[in-house]
Structure 1
């Protein structure tokens, strides 16, 4: 049964570019939402026409039944005020909590029928301009029905840390803010439909992929960057330690697969460091989805030692467990939510700096550095313990039965808690919960501006020589007179659709035919045009003056 109301968003959820966690997660969310199909319709407000057309084509393929039923709509964002006023939205959901939720809340408060929930998840939280983005959430028009969705316990605590810092620093202890809830990301159920490969299957797959036989294969999958994902040198040191101290384990290779720019010299430098340490490393850069699935099936252990605050969740850990691999991961951020230590894998201890009393040199430098520069500074003071990492790898390399049992347990854990269809159910429950929360009367919020909203008419009032006053008298200009006699017509530029109406312009000029003060003229104009609000009426008057349809009386 469909929920009453319509789902709205300003995001396409589909991104071009490298296969990164955020992109995979957003596509997974949209695909699962449309598969569940809980709403009457789905409205996408996209900034430009080519993207609207592109998204329409993609979703016609992704959700053909919904598309054929006409329940997908793709609209210009300039339509938001009118659509919000006319449409019973159940919620608006963004692909992140940063870009537009507070601006959406202001539009909702001003135009919508009711205070529907506005939600968006966190992805990376470590950018130095994010405090300003979170500050936007703290304003008098925020309600508990606005919600930031953290994907991990660590991410949830970080979001609360943002708000604590902002409330203290700006004296905003009294200021309402959004709710914070936790819902993880997920993987598609079809990831669990592939049968787990046996020893012979792995051997055949390795031969086809050109991977070594008769060796333990440790897979790392993700961005190949010591500055934006993880420093792999501790893993190389751990494997070198095993080769020197545990020759009984037999040979093992490290397979590093993931994204790097074609001209990035770092992957090759990493390979040279591995060779110098006596570790056999295989690089597989920019694999597609099919090859990624084959690599997961061909390897014995999945390893990810995130040390970078840019990581918040860890989608590759779910993909690895869905593929039946035991996981060795750093006990860091969202990773500890995904790996059941001792059951589905091993969490390796990490150590970080004690919280600074005020700020430290990295805090002060970050706003003037490139992302990779300050992320590197942050990551290099996060320790993933090499001895414990070596022990974890040794434990799994020497025990095939343990690898199988942990891999099977990980697969079951994904099936029980991290499939997208269950994650979408949690979002639906959340939207219902938020809708039922106490909230102010929306009429009290209609005229509450957002403090970070730029008041253009006030700030830029000194730019024109004068401003239009209610007592200023107006009459039809030369073009306006021609319009009234049918010899001219309003020229409406693309981009003003929905704001200006040709018939309304004719009515406005007609009302001024004998001369009229601007204030009363706007009021009579509104009476003649049902649904016309004061702001749009004032806009029509100034636009008509600009185009010589109206002119000041001498």
Structure 2
């Protein structure tokens, strides 16, 4: 019999609000997965009913063909136990490895009938509290079928260093506290969304932004922030070097585009720097997708001087390459995986701190952007190398154009979203074949951070359900059984309180029955209701006065 292959996740992948690389990448991945459509069904487990309904609507609107064939099943997290127990999932893939992956592995081991692969991607890694989140991965509930998907070589090295530091700090052996595999799969770009504009389109784009046709345009695109993205002062210093060397920069135009905060004083600083240097600055605040395509199409070169540890990959570099732009980038983090120096652009040498002991101690007590700014300000991007790259763009436009063409070829060949999805499929197949510990031992092993509510808070109520208490139906319980009354069930519990189970429950208690025995009998009588859920129903019925403790005869 054919067993359907089912993909599942705890995340929506499609998010609104401000444009961030993480959100763009997550949505693009889901688009590519839906286009490739390698699974029979796709299950989404949302945190709440409201989010479940929203996700269902988003999926239907965005992927009508898949929705039309019934490929999507959108549930809530409360449905996980039943789904894990009844479904053989091919994989659970999360959009972020830090939010729930380690806990999901523990839930899988305890509740699922199969040990399926669980994977999740990295994004920014430099927030102080992330040490705690990575620690959750070092657990006896982690198996060889679990992996963190690292988008860059530098990112993978950083995660490995984080795990090493945590092992040293807590004395955790790899045997007792295994880590997930660190797989390397870069993010992607949709090549068909990008191309070089023809002469007419390019002229129209420049006219729309008030840029002369003879100008040489440098484009900087991304979150416009010196504290969370990049410092542009080295760029202005490089232009000053060009002027001092006698190079004519009168036709040079700098376009800075991306997400901005209106009250950010950095914008005024940029304008003042440009005026002091004599460089024309065009600031494009929060451009939409159409404007973004125009900006990439009207430029001669793309510049990105990442110096901030919150950067991990560099999605805009791929977009620039797909748009046939040569890239001038700092030799920093994931950037060096993307740019082929001398062929698709320039990588500018960077120097950073050898150690940061004082900052390390202070970081958990400060805002992360304050820490990031100070670390970034100690990361030096080579201004002389930047000046040389700018001079090359100005002095040899044909070479710059050839680099742009080579960049597109590289983006299409190595960094398409389709290729990204294929690499994930290969990873999931390989993980599924990995050996895992004994199934029963895994099921009995709790994650070290598991909060055992029943044990920890045992002293809060005055007693616990046991067989010394005999329970019997009440007048209200009899009315519910005869359908003369109906219990009040909160909307949030509508998926958990089973009305048919309540009728069975009160009937089983009609002559009196010990509490835990009553729960066991209920579980045996109602298909799909395990003993833990039955105990919960018994206590809920007591709370609603459908059952009561039977008084001993006088």
Alignment partner, residue 165 of structure 2: 165
1:22 to 2:19 alignment: no
What are the residue-to-residue correspondences of 1:78-157 with 2, within 5 Å? 78-157=78-157
Alignment partner, residue 535 of structure 1: 532
Task: Tell me how far 1:64 sits from its aligned partner.
Answer: 1.5
Alignment partner, residue 376 of structure 1: 373
Contact 1:32–1:420 (CA under 8 A) maintained in structure 2:
yes
Alignment partner, residue 310 of structure 1: 310
1:187 to 2:184 alignment: no
Task: Tell me how far 1:249 sits from its aligned partner.
Answer: 5.9
* Secondary structure in 2 matching 1:223: coil
* Secondary structure in 2 matching 1:240: helix
Task: Tell me how far 1:56 sits from its aligned partner.
Answer: 2.5
1:507 to 2:504 alignment: yes
Structure 2 unmatched ranges of 5 or more: none
Contact 2:196–2:324 (CA under 8 A) maintained in structure 1:
no
Alignment partner, residue 72 of structure 2: 72
- The change in CA–CA distance for 1:25 and 1:453 in structure 2 (over 3 A counts) is same
Alignment partner, residue 244 of structure 1: 244
Greater mean alpha carbon deviation, residues 202-211 or residues 401-410:
202-211
- CA deviation map 1:500-552 (0-9, x unaligned): 21111121222222222112222222221233222111111111111111212
* Secondary structure in 2 matching 1:256: strand
Greater mean alpha carbon deviation, residues 106-115 or residues 400-409:
106-115
Alignment partner, residue 421 of structure 1: 418
How many residue pairs match? The answer is: 548
Structure 1 residue corresponding to 2:383, chosen from 369, 386, 392:
386
Please report the TM-score for the alignment, with normalisation by the length of structure 1: 0.95
What are the residue-to-residue correspondences of 1:258-337 with 2, within 5 Å? 258-337=258-337
Alignment partner, residue 59 of structure 2: 59
Alignment partner, residue 514 of structure 2: 517
Task: Tell me how far 1:7 sits from its aligned partner.
Answer: 0.7
- The change in CA–CA distance for 1:539 and 1:377 in structure 2 (over 3 A counts) is same
Contact 1:310–1:375 (CA under 8 A) maintained in structure 2:
yes
- The change in CA–CA distance for 1:497 and 1:105 in structure 2 (over 3 A counts) is farther
Alignment partner, residue 437 of structure 1: 434
Contact 1:329–1:348 (CA under 8 A) maintained in structure 2:
yes
Greater mean alpha carbon deviation, residues 395-404 or residues 330-339:
395-404
> How far apart in 2 are the matches of 1:11 and 1:326?
35
RMSD, matched Cα: 1.8
Task: Tell me how far 1:461 sits from its aligned partner.
Answer: 1.7
Structure 1 residue corresponding to 2:408, chosen from 404, 407, 411:
411
Task: Tell me how far 1:327 sits from its aligned partner.
Answer: 0.5
> How far apart in 2 are the matches of 1:333 and 1:188?
22
Greater mean alpha carbon deviation, residues 334-343 or residues 39-48:
39-48
Contact 1:219–1:299 (CA under 8 A) maintained in structure 2:
yes
> How far apart in 2 are the matches of 1:3 and 1:232?
55
Contact 2:217–2:254 (CA under 8 A) maintained in structure 1:
yes
Structure 1 unmatched ranges of 5 or more: none
- The change in CA–CA distance for 1:150 and 1:46 in structure 2 (over 3 A counts) is same
* Secondary structure in 2 matching 1:35: helix
Contact 1:479–1:488 (CA under 8 A) maintained in structure 2:
yes
> How far apart in 1 are the matches of 2:207 and 2:3?
51
